């Protein structure tokens, strides 16, 4: 089976990395995965505009369908022509040559929903924006999936898309760590979840040791983003972070994410309030348990159990003073939590590997 994905060809994007993993697994299972785009010399992606042999076209939808910030225009890595950079003519060619029943939409950000707001986070600024995204999805396909076990709309089905690779796993060794706590990820509606963790470490700040946030927009809100989105999505408090002695580090390449996580005794696993409410998973959902660290989950316990297994409930961050004691316990004796992490890894390898995901996607396409 030949599956063709429509998505940005930017290697540091989480979903692009997922597609590379799907391509690897597909080859081992006798299938093929390509991206619908012009061939690009030196790209890690297999690209093609030949639609004839495609058994299905998979649209990976996130909020940014028509621009991808942060690329290098000189290297051709910011695509603004047509849907996710494939060009207007190629978009037209795709819709004219691939029947509707062979198109699948993966709505990764929960935008195929009515306007939803959760603790300042939202999927759409207004009803009009929601209607535009809804009309776009429904004009493309009847097969619409979201990476959650509990989609809100009755015509949406679960497909988790993001997955876990046991090859990522690093030994759980705590004899020397540069940091007590580290978080790798950008500040996009994550301040409230991060602030909850930081409040818990305030009373034991000296015992935590070095702490760092690695990613974009923790030091300041981006001036180029208009209000009110700037304050809602990127709020941060650099003076508070400075006073707490939290290091702010630049973003890192995707291949350094798991090793960097492993430089700390524990890593908080954060989720946007909207994603927590919708039960969505992201690429980061599956990366932290593979690192040489103890993950502390800030999500709803029921969600944590559904993704990571029942043992993970022991690593759900508690509330108030209990959270401080829990973090102190992890810092003092991280080795005693390693068996929990091993159980989480076994569960993810069995239920959420890329091989499991790809086989599920093949079944979806064959329906």
Say what the pLDDT of residue 84 is. Answer: 83
**How many whole angstroms from its chain centre is CA 78?**
20
Position 71 scores a pLDDT of 44
Q: Which two tokens stand for residue 366?
A: 């064959």
- The predicted structure's pLDDT at residue 291: 97
Residue range 201-225: average pLDDT? 95
- Fill in the DSSP letter of residue 226: P
Structure tokens at 22: 């799907």
Q: Write out pLDDT tens, residues 139-165.
A: 999 999 999 999 999 999 999 999 999
> For 311-365, what is each residue's pLDDT tens digit?
999 999 999 999 999 999 999 999 999 999 999 999 999 999 999 999 999 999 9
For residue 229, the model assigns a pLDDT of 85
Residue 92's pLDDT band (boundaries 50, 70, 90)? very high
pLDDT of residue 75: 40
Write out the DSSP string of 12-33.
TSHHHHHHHHHHHHHHHTT-EE
- Report the pLDDT value the prediction gives residue 73, as an integer from 0 to 100: 41
Domains plus CATH for the chain?
A: 2-163+353-366 (3.40.50), 166-351 (3.40.50.2000)
- Res. 121: pLDDT tops 60: yes
Q: What is the pTM of this model?
A: 0.91
> Mean pLDDT score of the chain, rounded to an integer?
92
Per residue in 253-272, is it b (16+ CB within 10 Å) or e — as a string? ebeebbebbbbbbbbbbbbb
Q: What is the pLDDT of residues 301-314, one digit of tens each?
A: 999 999 999 999 99
pLDDT at 12: 64
- Find the range with the poorest average confidence among 23-32, 203-212, 227-236, 242-251: 227-236
> 331: which 2 tokens?
């810092």
Which residues are registered as beta bridge partners of 182? 212
How many Cβ atoms are within 10 Å of 237's Cβ, its own excluded?
14
- Per-residue pLDDT band for 256 (boundaries 50, 70, 90) equals very high
pLDDT digits (tens, 9 = 90+) for 268-309: 999 999 999 999 999 889 999 999 999 999 999 999 999 999
């Amino acid at each position: 089976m030949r599956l063709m994905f429509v998505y940005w060809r930017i290697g540091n994007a989480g979903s692009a990395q997922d597609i590379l993993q799907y391509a690897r697994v597909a080859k081992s299972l006798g299938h093929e995965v390509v991206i619908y785009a012009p061939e690009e010399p030196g790209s890690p992606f297999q690209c093609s505009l030949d639609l004839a042999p495609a058994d299905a076209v998979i649209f990976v939808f996130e909020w940014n369908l028509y621009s991808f910030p942060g690329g290098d225009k000189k290297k051709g890595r910011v695509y603004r022509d047509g849907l996710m950079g494939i060009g207007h003519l190629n978009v037209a060619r795709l819709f004219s040559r691939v029947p509707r029943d062979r198109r699948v939409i993966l709505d990764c950000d929960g935008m195929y929903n009515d306007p939803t707001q959760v603790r300042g986070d939202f999927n759409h600024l207004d009803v009009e924006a929601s209607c535009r995204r809804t009309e776009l999805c429904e004009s493309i396909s009847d097969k619409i999936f979201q990476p959650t076990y509990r989609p809100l709309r009755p015509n949406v089905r679960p497909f988790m898309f993001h997955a876990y690779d046991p090859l990522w796993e690093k030994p759980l060794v705590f004899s020397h760590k540069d940091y007590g706590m580290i978080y790798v990820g950008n500040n996009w509606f994550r301040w409230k979840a991060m602030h909850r963790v930081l409040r818990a470490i305030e009373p034991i700040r000296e015992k935590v040791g070095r702490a760092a946030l690695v990613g974009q927009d923790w030091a300041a809100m981006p001036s180029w983003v208009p209000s009110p989105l700037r304050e809602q999505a990127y709020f941060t408090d650099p003076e508070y972070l400075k006073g707490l002695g939290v290091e702010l580090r630049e973003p890192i390449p995707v291949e350094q994410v798991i090793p960097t996580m492993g430089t700390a005794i524990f890593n908080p696993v954060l989720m946007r309030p909207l994603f927590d409410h919708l039960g969505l998973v992201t690429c980061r959902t599956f990366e932290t348990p593979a690192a040489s660290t103890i993950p502390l989950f800030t999500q709803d316990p029921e969600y944590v159990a559904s993704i990571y297994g029942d043992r993970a409930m022991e690593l759900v961050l508690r509330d108030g003073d209990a959270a401080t004691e829990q973090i102190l316990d992890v810092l003092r004796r991280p080795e005693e939590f390693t068996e929990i992490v091993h159980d989480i890894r076994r569960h993810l390898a069995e239920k959420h590997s890329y091989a499991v995901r790809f086989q599920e996607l093949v079944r979806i396409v064959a329906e």
